[in-house]
Amino acid sequence: MSASSRHVVITGFMGAGKTTVARALARKIFCAVIDLDDLIRERTGRTPQEIIDEDGEHAFREHEGEALRATLETSEPCVIALGGGAWIIESNRALVNKHEAFTVWLDAPFELCWRRVTGANIQRPFARDREKAILLYDKRREFYAQATLRVEVSEGKDPETVAAEIVCMLSEVAIKMNENLRN
Ligand code: S3P
């Protein structure tokens, strides 16, 4: 499979900037962008928050897995912004890897994520308690680290810069893939 025919999947903790960076990246590489949480909202008529609060996390993860599968299977190569917990589920990682997508971890410090999630006007069920959120952040890092690429996100670094870094990394990977194909 050539580099340009692959999806690019963006992962990272809540508040890492997945949606914004995914949009900026899609503009730069001229493809569509799909935000998994938005897609779940379209498919179910409810927000992830509502689903988690009303039906529980397990039900939400099922919707999430289905939305991811549908996107990977049916859409043209695009940029997919995951919700912060999607990449933690083994079957989702397996699905993404089966489709040979490029995976990118936006590695942002906890304090930055926390400031963003508490400052946002949407309520996140897994960001209601700071101590619990720190535990979740620490627990999830080993899974995020399984993404193929890691990009550091910091306070002063804007989404356009992060997206530009990803473009550079993706072209390096694509060049290596082409070299391997030739040899
Ligand atoms: C979740 C993150 C949320 C959303 C849901 C669960 C998580 O997405 O999918 O509330 O488990 O971390 P964002 O990472 O976009 O906030």
Among protein residues, the one whose CA lies closest to atom 8 of ligand 1: 83
Mean pLDDT within 59-64? 98
Q: How confident is the model at residue 133 (pLDDT cuts 50, 70, 90)?
A: very high
Reading the block at residue 78, the tokens are 């695009």
- The amino acid at residue 154 is S
Q: How confident is the model at residue 131 (pLDDT cuts 50, 70, 90)?
A: very high
Cα(14) to ligand 1 centroid in Å equals 6
pLDDT higher than threshold 70 for residue 11: yes
Cα(29) to ligand 1 centroid in Å equals 25
23 lines ligand 1 (CB under 6 A): no
Up-side HSE of residue 165: CA atoms within 13 Å toward CB? 15
83 lines ligand 1 (CB under 6 A): yes
Cα(37) to ligand 1 centroid in Å equals 8
Cα(179) to ligand 1 centroid in Å equals 37
Among protein residues, the one whose CA lies closest to atom 4 of ligand 1: 83
35 lines ligand 1 (CB under 6 A): no
| CB 151, CB 165: distance < 8 Å | yes
Mean pLDDT within 120-132? 89
126 lines ligand 1 (CB under 6 A): yes
Q: What is the pLDDT of residue 1?
A: 65
pLDDT higher than threshold 80 for residue 147: yes
Q: How far apart are CA 33 and CA 77, in angstroms?
A: 9
- pTM for the complete prediction? 0.95
The backbone torsions φ and ψ at residue 17, rounded to the nearest 5 degrees and listed phi first, read 105, 25
Q: What is the pLDDT of residue 55?
A: 98
CA distances in angstroms from 12 to 7, 141, 182, listed in the order given: 17, 8, 34
Residue 140 CA: nearest ligand 1 atom is 12
Identify which of 126, 138, 140 to mutate to test ligand 1's pocket (most ligand atoms within 8 A of the CB): 126
Task: Collapse the DSSP code of 170 into the 3-class scheme (helix H, G, I; strand E, B; otherwise coil) and give the result.
Answer: helix
| Per-position DSSP letters for 109-135, written without gaps between them | -HHHHHHHHHHSSS--GGGS-HHHHHH
